[in-house]
Amino acid sequence: MIIAPERIPVAGPSITDREPELAAEAARTAWYGNHYAYNARFEKMMAEYVGVRHAVGVPHATAALHVIFAALGIGPGDEVIVPDVTWIASVAPVVYVGAEPVLVDILPDTWCIDPAAVEAAIGPKTKAILGVDLYGSMCDWDALQAIADKHGLHLIEDAAEALGSSYNGRRAGSFGRAAAFSFHGSKTVATGEGGMFVTDDADLAKRMLFLRDHGRNPGDRFFLNHEVAFKYRMNAVTAALGIAQMERIDELITHKRAIFRWYQERLGNLNGITLNAEPAGVVNSYWMVTSVFDPALGYDKFELMAAFDKRNIDTRPFFSPLSSLPAFDDRPNAKRLVKPDDRGQAIAKHSINLPSGYNMTEEKVDIVCRAMREILSVPR
Ligand SMILES: *Cc1c(COP(=O)(O)O)cnc(C)c1O
């Protein structure tokens, strides 16, 4: 049996000397009048890279989405159409503001929300559509924007997994009213924990700045709170880590794409296996190289994970449909449009994320792919 000589983790960042140096500098100097300097620099770098006017650092992407939904006035009695297959952080903030998520199916190739399913789910209570750029794939943003425009709905982008991807020349994070990024340690740009909301809309940015700082107007020195809101600010040390990562963004994306290419060269023509899609007009930053197994092969994702685990290789299950999780047991209204034969149900059951951390080398990818062939060669 093929066994990796050293445990191969599924995700992890690329940290050079620059990141801790800048973090230490921030810990020393980001005080008094300089307290926001690193945050401002990180925010400017993100806004320029994504191609939007406003970017604001928060503790994590979950907070970014919470502030976005709250600032758009989404609340009790409202519905937000979301993909059934995503990380729960995309959808939990809909619940935080008291609105009801409505789960719909995903597309077979990009694994992003299906615009036709979105349109079919629109009702009198619908206020917004949330597109999630899953694993670095891009949503069909033209179709989603057309639907949002036609029905007068807010479109929001969860770009937590897609920094560096683009769609028809526009970067992830530049679609819809506002978007959220995550800098969790597993993400493409990593600060441990961290997030950002971005938007082109000055009024919306102002409202989000107000809500993320206990209902104070930006620049308020009199400690006058106009509403009970949230405290979602990013630490300067975190921002310094983010600056050091953004200085290397091109190198980081190039390495992510190289990891995908190494896998594709080895697994691309294996029968019954589909990897991440990169349709015409899209650049995929391949946050997680993902292997979708044809249901006919009969593999369960947890069984596959166990087979890799025995070989000293870490993998992750494709996100389980939210509709299948205990967390949504008491939300029949959220699940009312999900059907057992939805594409997302089959994809999520038979698929895993392969090791995609920045410490992957071509040699390690080779070990994972040989392990995969071995696992698939065992008669079942
Ligand atoms: C990681 C992630 C989030 C949440 O990010 P945090 O920074 O951990 O809050 C949201 N949506 C998606 C799709 C994610 O992968």
Closest protein CA for atom 11 of ligand 1 = 90
Q: How far is the CA of 32 from the centre of ligand 1 (A)?
A: 32
- Work out the number of other CB atoms within 10 angstroms of the CB of residue 255: 16
Residues 6+ apart with CB under 8 A from 183: 189, 190, 191, 192, 193, 194, 195, 196, 238, 241, 242, 245
Regarding beta strands 195-199 and 178-182, do their DSSP bridges make them parallel or antiparallel, or are they unpaired? antiparallel
Which residues contact ligand 1 via a Cβ below 6 A? 60-62, 86-87, 89-90, 132, 158, 160-161, 182, 184, 195
Q: Please report the atom of ligand 1 found closest to the CA of residue 59.
A: 7
DSSP bridge pairs for 79: 100, 126
Domain assignments of the chain as residue spans, ordered by start: 18-246, 249-377
Report the b/e string of 301-333 with b at 16+ CB within 10 A.
Answer: beebbebbeebebbbbebbbbbbbeeebeebee
Q: Measured in angstroms, how far is the CA atom of residue 89 from the centroid of ligand 1?
A: 5
CA of 160 from ligand 1 middle (Å) equals 5
Q: Please answer whether residues 98 and 125 qualify as being in contact, where contact means their C-beta atoms are separated by less than 8 angstroms.
A: no
Closest residue (by CA) to atom 14 of ligand 1?
160
Which is the closest atom of ligand 1 to the Cα of 187? 1
Residue in this structure with the two tokens 């891009």, named with its chain if needed: 138
Calculated CA dihedral for residues 250, 253, 255, 260, nearest 10 degrees: -150
Cα–ligand 1 centroid distance for 62 (angstroms): 6
Atom in ligand 1 nearest the alpha carbon of residue 89: 10
Q: What pLDDT is stored for residue 322 in this prediction? A: 98
Specify whether domain 249-377 bears CATH 1.10.30.50: no
At residue 269 the predicted structure's pLDDT band, cuts being 50, 70 and 90, is confident
In tens, the pLDDT along 274-310 reads: 999 999 999 999 999 999 999 998 899 999 999 999 9
State in Å: Cα 11 to ligand 1 middle. Answer: 14
Helix 249-267 vs helix 236-246: crossing angle, to nearest 10: 60
Q: Are strands 154-158 and 79-83 parallel, antiparallel or unpaired?
A: unpaired
pLDDT at 240 over 90: yes
Q: Distance between CA atoms of 80 and 126, rounded to whole angstroms?
A: 6
How many CB atoms are closer than 10 A to CB 363?
A: 8
Does domain 18-246 bear CATH number 3.40.640.10?
yes
Q: Residue 378 pLDDT > 80, yes or no?
A: no
Cβ pair 268, 239 in contact under 8 A: no
CB 43, CB 197: distance < 8 Å: no
pLDDT per residue as tens digits for the range 122-169: 999 999 999 999 999 999 999 999 999 999 999 999 999 999 999 999
Cα 9 to ligand 1 centroid, rounded to whole Å: 19
If we measure between CA atoms, which residue out of 239, 225, 295, 316 comes closest to residue 40? 239
- Chain centroid to Cα 34, Å, comes to 31
pLDDT of residue 362: 98
Interval 340-373: pLDDT, tens: 999 999 999 999 999 999 999 999 999 999 999 9
Å from CA of 376 to ligand 1 middle: 31
The whole-number average pLDDT for the span 71-80 is 98
Q: What is the SS3 assignment for 134?
A: helix
Q: What is the pTM of this model?
A: 0.98
311, amino acid identity:
R
- What is the atom index within ligand 1 of the atom nearest the CA of 133? 13
Band of residue 88 on the pLDDT scale cut at 50, 70, 90: very high
- Check whether 266 has a pLDDT greater than 80: yes
Return the pLDDT at 67: 98
Interaxial angle between packed helices 362-377 and 301-310, expressed in degrees from 0 to 180 and rounded to the nearest 10: 120
* Per-residue confidence (pLDDT) for residue 212, from 0 to 100: 97
Does the pLDDT at position 380 exceed 70? no
pLDDT of residue 280: 97
pLDDT score, position 33: 95
